[in-house]
Structure 1
Amino acid sequence: MVTTSRLAWNVIGSFINYGSYPVRHWPASICVFPGETLLYVAVFISAEGNMEAVTIGAPLDQGVGYGIVLGLGFGFALGMILVTFILKRYNSELQTSEMFTTAGRTVKSGLVGSAVVSSWTWAATLLQSSGVCYRYGVSGPFWYASGATVQILLFATLAIELKRRAPNAHTFLEVLQPIKNQGSVWNDSPYRLYGFRPRDKYPRQSHASRRRLGYSKRSYGNAYYRCYNLLPVGVIAYTMVGGLKATILTDWIHTFILLVIIIIFSLTAYASSDKLGSPSAVYDLLVEAALNHPVEGNAQGSYLTMRSKEGAIFFVINIVGNFGTVFLDNGYYNKAIAASPVHALPGYIIGGLSWFAIPWLTATTMGLSALALENTPAFPTYPNRMTEADVSAGLVLPYAAVALLGKGGAVGTLLIIFMAVTSATSSELIAVSSIFTYDLYRTYFKPDASGRRLIYMSHVIVVVYALFISTFSVGLYYAGISMGYLYLMMGCIISSAVIPATLTLVWKGQNKWAAALSPVFGLAFALIAWLVTARKECGALDVTCTGSNNPMLAGNVVALLSPLVLIPIFTLIFGMDNYDWKSMMAIRRGDDHELATTAGVDLEQTAAGHVETANELVEEQAKLTRASKISKWTTVGLTLAFLVLWPFPMYGSSYVFSKPFFTGWVTVGIIWIFCSLGAVGLFPIFEGRKTLARTFRAIALDLSGKKHVKSIRADNEATAIDGKAASGTETPPNAKDSVKTETGEKAE
């Protein structure tokens, strides 16, 4: 009997389709994005140095890859382009610079929630969370989910403050621009650098997802080049045509599909699978797994406990790092800016609570399924366990999916990764284009730029940035950087700007030096803490050592918390400021009169063109002030619940789940994911039901010839569209008689 001491995988690109479905369904073969059927060679190196190779065919042929990347990608693009055309034809929705960047500031809470869920569901959300579950057991999914949900909940308060302080802002960097004659001169240059750091989420995801789904550095051919460069094409198309509104609508579709696939995975594992089929069966297999390979640092070595030393360390790293990737990501500010005033707070609360179920249930299902099935012939690595490299690369979810569902699991994994990557891509294209267009181009190069020129610049940046991230992804591929390493390192690099950036919106006393220098010094201290800890831990500064938990913990914590020391120091040295917020209120919108005149539309009657009266502004500020008070208490309460009240009684008591408790744990997760589907999948349809009915009726009248499109448009303009008055026959409301919509929100 040959004893296997090492298992090395070489993924070799091949144009040959063998057509046979292997007995062992290697999930790496599901990465056929570019359409090349892959041939896998497992190379076993024995203790004596002998090598045995087993060739295994691919479960999915090249048509699946082309179908996903080209078919589905361009299908989304054409669909969103059609939606944009319909909105313009029947609802007089003019694509102005404001509409492109802010979606008219009229988006309701359901769509805001789905956009938040989609934006926060990276490839890492699905794959990294399953990896920590495989490592640490049931605690891993909860640590991941709770440690990344609180940022969205707390950001709701920041979203309200942004809309209250700077109602016409397009990016969060606009509120940090140099302000003259206000007693303060903000230096926003460091924040531009930090603002662009989270922008590499797409290259991280696309690079990592391809590696996690099967490519290795020894892949032959240029398959991955096509993968990286084809994925953004469809996204570029609908983003350029529909702007932020098309992105938000696509986010809703992505979220709906994603939640349905997660529900299928969970019900298969815990209800219908012939390999598992119930929480009880999974529980028994996890108990057996703990006996065979107990988890170091877990209570009783069990996978069924919240008491996990390494899991708790990951929990802290996760919390710290994700503050930077939310609070410094202009994509989340875009969603806040796009929301109508009364819908910003509920939108972010709905989004945060709905998102929690995604990593929690996905990882609890797929991570535990991998642990339960890896000792069976259905699992790809059988009879071996997964290597740490495979776990770090995010292969736990695809391995479990293929073991549970075969080809169906492969397709499902492909779809959810595709949704995650393309959704993040679209969000970041808008985020980056708005930063370049408004924070750089209009501020420093052409302050009097027309709306037409601003749209042109936005389109240019969308294309240029898409090319950049594709190229950068190839660089990450060649560098061999894993998803896990980048995920943990982000906090070290960007988190030092979180507190100073937040204080610019909530504290008038922060002076320019504290705002400008705290992130820079914080970054320096974080890098020192990270690398010194790595050196002391294992005497080396290689990828393995610097990527381990303790060095990452040190770097992340120092990055986030160092401004708590630095800001008071700079305040003592340079004194407190007394900023009056007036210059934020003075941020101006783009001038779209030229576009409106060309289109023959009254700009004042468009969703993005109405200028608020003094009475409307006062009423809006009152609503936002009330929402600000509610958000602070609500988000703090939910944060304490997720971070302390729920997990730590179980952590402190070292409780090991009983079978009934585990069954209840899983049941709550499944109920939660159905609630998420209702909140961000079905609720947006309910909120927009009147507009949908009006639009479908207009299409039917137009196609049947019963009514001319101009007449249809006039009828629609005479009624409220998505909570906004769009009358083409009435004058805008004045200070004495502001119009109220059916939801109680003032019309603009």
Structure 2
Amino acid sequence: MDATAPVLAPSAGYGIVLGMGFGFAGLMLVLSKLTARYTTFAASGSSEEYTSASRSLKPGLIASGIVSAATWAATLLQSSTVAVAYGVSGPWWYAAGSATQIMAFAQNAIQLKRHAPGAHTFLEVIGLRWGTIPHLSFMFFGLGTSTLTSQLITGGSDTVASLTGMNTIAACFLIPIGVVVYTLVGGLRATFFSDYLHTVLIFVIILAFSFTTYATHDYLGSPSRVYDLLQIAAENYPVMGNGAGSYTTFRSENGLVFGIIVMVSGFATVYMDQTYWQRAVASKASTSVKGYILGGFSFLPVPYAFATAAGMAIVAMTANGDAPYAPLGAAVSLAAPAAATALLGKSGAILLLIVLFLAVTSAASAELVAVSSIMTYDIYKRYFNPHATDKQILWISHISIVAFGIFMGVLGVIFFEIGISLSWLYGFTGIFASSGVIPVGLCLRSSHANKWGCVAGLWVGFVCGVAAWLGTAKGYGGAVTVESTGGSYAQLAGNAGSFFIAGAIAGLTSWLWPEHFDFEVSTHEMGSADGSTEKEADTEKAVKDPALVTEKGASDVEKGASDADSIHVQNDATDAELYADFILSVRLTIALFVALCIFMPCMMVIPQVWSKAGFTFWIVLSLLWTFVAAGIVVIYPVYESRHALADICRAIWKDVTGRR
């Protein structure tokens, strides 16, 4: 059996894309209507609710949203690919590097709450502090980062095609349709609903793959059996650059290079992507750090447990001549679909297809809201209509969502036609955006950041990164081609050059010629959602209090919440408490970085090839981490909203019985 061949008919692909797309859109529309009916939050009546979910979300839902936002189709596909290519070290480097960056972003989230509680985008703060030229410069890279995430459309479409034989170009255009529909109606809060459902299914497939591989599969069935087959695979298909050619070793030269790329480029996709800032905007100030720390911790088993199970399973099942599956060969990029087919047959292919489809729709909906926020607040309101009404802001947001949804489909087709792979796009995104990481961090965190030094670092770092990337590609590949520019060393040089040169320029200029910016200015100017400092008590109550509208008199509060021009944003914690959260997040991030990216690899690299007991420990650790993470992002969000959910159920029952 060839596990890489389509196992479903093209009609199944069209059925899932169209049926699930519109079905999921319908579900999100119903949830949005329920939210508008039974809570104070109505996306159709307030731009503040539409673009920032009234800054009211709790840490469990924020953590679930972060896991979903970080789990692109590329995450599941690329992590499985590096598992096959580099062995057990590949998924760990992917997971540890990405989780650390998410946790580090908690510091940005809390600083945004402290210094600009009414901001909608990180670019607004840059524009207020440094003016037009820096604002436009950083906007170029911010929009570019979001644009490059059209790779999620390409990756999702490729996977649908590989599993069903559906036309890839058709998938590129059909997938965004349902996303645009429910995002258009429900706004940011609807994306969090879809994020939660997506996260639930992510952990379902992780557990399904893991228990099938290590417990129930006829050919595999235990960690011991998988380990034995991996040793045979190392003899028949040794991994170049790995200790003894083994799949069960951390002594992997290419795995380490990939890990460094993940750690550097991942910062770019987190710091320069408005999607992550959007979650910081939507969270409560008092719990924003908690949401990001829990989200980063819970994301780790997605690449780690999933890719280890899927990647090692497909390697083990193609290890020798009597294996029931043909070797992957050149189709290593299809490791995840191949593993799904090999482990669970058609049901596995359908399950993976659903999860990857939701990964695409969830991430796409978040990007739609992120880009529409930039288009609305950083372009339309800043440069064309500073006194825009709430109705005009909502109109521009809607237009931006539709326009970017169409653009994502077109760009997905372009990437597919020119043969750009997910791994190439993943590496190039870091090269493109890494130069903005430290300048953006300095803008939000340091009152001494030098304006022109940070702008110079942004552009000079980008140019140097591209030069290093292309030069290394030519040096190693002999010519600048898609293949050579996608090589590990070329992407490493580009990412590192862009990141470190920009950081050096921005850091040195800020140290030698410090500026003295008073963050009280940004706190005052961005203390309200419309840039004013006028305070309306009833509206503030509607924004801060997530209490449900189940009584007759509550309609007045809802009316106040719909007027974004008078919304005053007041943090639900003092500045001293938020600063204490900032210090806590710094300490936790450093501790977890040392534990995940230094201590664990140093321990795992001691044996050249792991023993069977060591491999079994690695598998058990992945399962334990998965269960803990599932408790955080699947059960905890329901628990923290239990009272609100109960009130909604009571209100629905009163509606049904005519007593409300």
Structures share fold, TM-score greater than 0.5: yes
Match of 1:49 in 2: none
1:661 aligns with 2:614: yes
* Post-superposition CA distance 1:552-571 (Å, at most 9, x none): 11111111111232125544
Contact 1:144 1:318 in 2 (8 A): yes
Rounded to whole Å, the distance in 2 between the matches of 1:380 and 1:525 is 49
Matched position secondary structure for 2:300 = helix
Give the Cα–Cα distance (whole angstroms) in 1 for the partners of residues 394 and 224 of structure 2: 57
Task: Decide whether aligned partners of structure 1 residues 276 and 380 sit closer, same or farther in structure 2, where only a CA change above 3 A counts.
Answer: closer
- Give the Cα separation in 2 of the matches to 1:632 and 1:508: 18
Decide whether the 8 Å contact of 2:123 with 2:135 is kept in 1.
yes
TM-superposed CA distance for 1:118, in Å, is 0.2
Is 2:284 the partner of 1:340? yes
1:354-382 per-position Cα deviation (integer Å, ceiling 9, x unaligned): 10000001110011111101246897972
Larger radius of gyration: 1
Structure 1 Cα separation of the partners of residues 517 and 300 of structure 2: 37
Q: Could you tell me how far apart the structure 2 residues matched to 1:622 and 1:572 are?
A: 26
Please say if 1:428 is aligned against 2:375.
no
> RMSD of the alignment, in Å?
2.5
CA contact (8 A) 1:299 1:308 kept: yes
Partner residue, 1:386:
329
Cα distance in 2 for residues equivalent to 1:530 and 1:620? 45
1:191 to 119, 131, 138: 138
By how many angstroms is 1:227 displaced? 1.1
Gaps of 5+ in 1: 1-23, 30-58, 709-748
CA 1:418/1:73 → structure 2, altered by over 3 Å: closer, same or farther?
Answer: same
Bigger Cα displacement from structure 2, 73-82 vs 465-474: 73-82
- Of residues 133, 138, 148 in structure 1, which corresponds to 2:83? 133
**What is the match of residue 499 of structure 2?**
560
2:17 partner letter: V
- Tell me which amino acid in the other structure corresponds to 1:119: A
Q: Judge which range, 436-445 or 578-587, deviates more.
A: 578-587
1:281 — aligned with what?
225
Mapping 1:264-343, distance limit 5 Å: 264-343=208-287
Alignment of 1:450 with 2:398, yes or no, is: no
CA distance in 2, matches of 1:590, 1:224: 43
Check if 1:255 corresponds to 2:205.
no
Deviation per CA, 1:71-118, whole angstroms, max 9, x where unpaired? 211122111211121122222423300000110111000000000000
Q: Cα offset for 1:502?
A: 0.6
Give 2:337's match in structure 1, choosing from 398, 404, 420: 398
- Which residue in the other structure is 1:164 paired with? 114
Q: Whole-Å Cα distance in 2 between the matches of residues 564 and 234 of structure 1?
A: 40
Q: Quick one: structure 1 residues 493 and 425, their matched pair in 2 at CA, closer, same or farther if it must change by over 3 Å?
A: same
Task: Decide which of 519, 526, 529 is 1:581's aligned counterpart.
Answer: 519
From the superposition, tell whether residues 114 and 200 of structure 1 become closer, same or farther in structure 2 (CA, over 3 Å).
same
Letter in 2 for 1:579: F
**Counterpart position of 1:79:** 27
Segments of 4+ in structure 1 off by > 3 A?
25-28, 212-216, 375-381, 568-573, 590-593, 599-613, 616-620
Q: Does residue 91 in structure 1 map to residue 10 in structure 2? A: no
Deviations 1:371-428 (A, max 9, x none): 101246897972x4421xx22xx30111111111110121122012101111110000
Q: Partner residue of 1:153?
A: 103
Q: Which amino acid aligns with 1:159?
A: A
Report the CA distance shift for 1:572/1:303 in structure 2 as closer, same or farther (over 3 A): closer
1:591: Cα distance to partner? 9.2
1:509 and 2:509 equivalent? no
Write the distance in 1 (CA, Å) between the matches of 2:654 and 2:531.
Answer: 34
How far the C-alpha of 1:214 sits from its partner, in A, is 4.0
Shift of 1:223: 2.8
Aligned counterpart for 2:150 among listed residues 174, 178, 203: 203
Give the share of equivalent positions with the same residue, in percent: 38
Match of 1:177, SS state, is helix
Structure 1 residues 401 and 377, CA, compared in 2 at 3 Å: closer, same or farther? farther
**Cα deviation, residue 668, structure 1:** 1.1
Bigger relative contact order (CA 8 A; separation at least 6):
2
CA contact (8 A) 2:286 2:572 kept: no
What secondary structure is seen at the aligned counterpart in 1 of 2:574? helix
Q: Which residue of 1 aligns with 2:424?
A: 485
* Pairwise CA distance, 1:66: 3.0
Kindly indicate whether the alpha-carbon contact (under 8 Å) linking 1:27 and 1:410 is maintained by their aligned counterparts in 2.
no
Contact 2:298 2:633 in 1 (8 A): yes
AA aligned to 1:581 is F
* Cα distance change on mapping 1:276 and 1:322 into 2, 3 Å: same
Counterpart in 1 of 2:585?
631
**8 Å contact from structure 1 (residues 299, 654) kept in 2:** no
For 1:378 and 1:156, the matched residues in 2 are separated by 50
Number of equivalent positions: 637
Residues 286-342 of structure 1 deviation map (CA, whole Å, 9 limit, x = unaligned) = 011111122222122211111111110111111111110001010000001100112
Which of 632, 639, 643 is the aligned partner of 1:690?
643
Alpha-carbon distance in 1 for matches of 2:575, 2:424: 43
Separation in structure 2 between the aligned mates of residue 473 and residue 415 of structure 1, nearest angstrom: 19
1:410-462 residue CA offsets vs partner (Å, 9 max, x unmatched): 11220121011111100000000000000111111001111111011100000
Gaps of 5+ in 2: 540-553
Measured after TM superposition, the shift of residue 496 of structure 1 is 0.7
Aligned pair in 2 of structure 1 residues 213, 75: CA closer, same or farther (>3 Å)?
closer
Deviations 1:537-556 (A, max 9, x none): 23211122222111211111
Cα offset, 1:605, TM superposition = 5.5
Q: Residues 179 and 372 of structure 1: is their aligned pair in 2 closer, same or farther, counting only changes over 3 Å?
A: closer
CA distance in 1, matches of 2:189, 2:441: 26
Q: Secondary structure at the match of 1:406?
A: helix
Find the aligned partners of 2:360 and 2:507 in 1 and give their Cα distance: 40
CA distance in 1, matches of 2:557, 2:315: 62
CA deviations on 1:166-189 (whole Å, 9 max, x unpaired) are 000000100010548xxx887221
Deviations along 1:638-680, one digit per CA (max 9) or x if unpaired, are: 11111111112322x2442111111111011011111111110
Q: Do the aligned residues in 2 keep the contact of 1:25 with 1:406 (CA within 8 Å)?
A: no
Would the aligned equivalents of 1:604 and 1:611 in 2 still touch at CA under 8 Å? no
Letter in 2 for 1:642: L
Match of 1:373 in 2: 317
Instruction: Pick the aligned partner of 1:675 from 608, 617, 628.
Output: 628
Kept after mapping to 1: 8 A contact 2:87/2:312: yes
Helix, strand or coil: the match of 1:395?
A: helix
Query: Match of 2:293?
Result: 349
Q: 1:608 to 1:423 in 2, by over 3 A?
A: farther
1:379 touches 1:400 (CA, 8 Å); kept in 2? Answer: no
Instruction: Single out whichever of 354-363 and 666-675 deviates more from structure 2.
Output: 666-675
- Which secondary structure does the structure 2 equivalent of 1:545 belong to? helix
Normalised TM-score (structure 2): 0.92
**Using a 3 Å threshold, how does the CA distance of structure 1 residues 262 and 215 change in structure 2: closer, same or farther?**
closer
Paired letter, 2:23: G
Deviations along 1:560-590, one digit per CA (max 9) or x if unpaired, are 11123212554478x2210102332212414
CA contact (8 A) 2:238 2:246 kept: yes
2: distance between equivalents of 1:378 and 1:601? 72
Distance in 2, matches of 1:656 and 1:27, equals 29
SS at match of 2:134: coil
2:596 alignment partner in structure 1: 642
Are the structure 2 counterparts of residues 530 and 101 from structure 1 closer, same or farther at C-alpha, using a change threshold of 3 Å?
Answer: same
For residue 340 of structure 1, what is the amino acid of its counterpart? K
Instruction: Name the one with the larger helix percent.
Output: 2
Counterpart contact for 1:26–1:380, Cα < 8 Å: no
Residue 13 of structure 2 corresponds to which residue in structure 1? Answer: 65
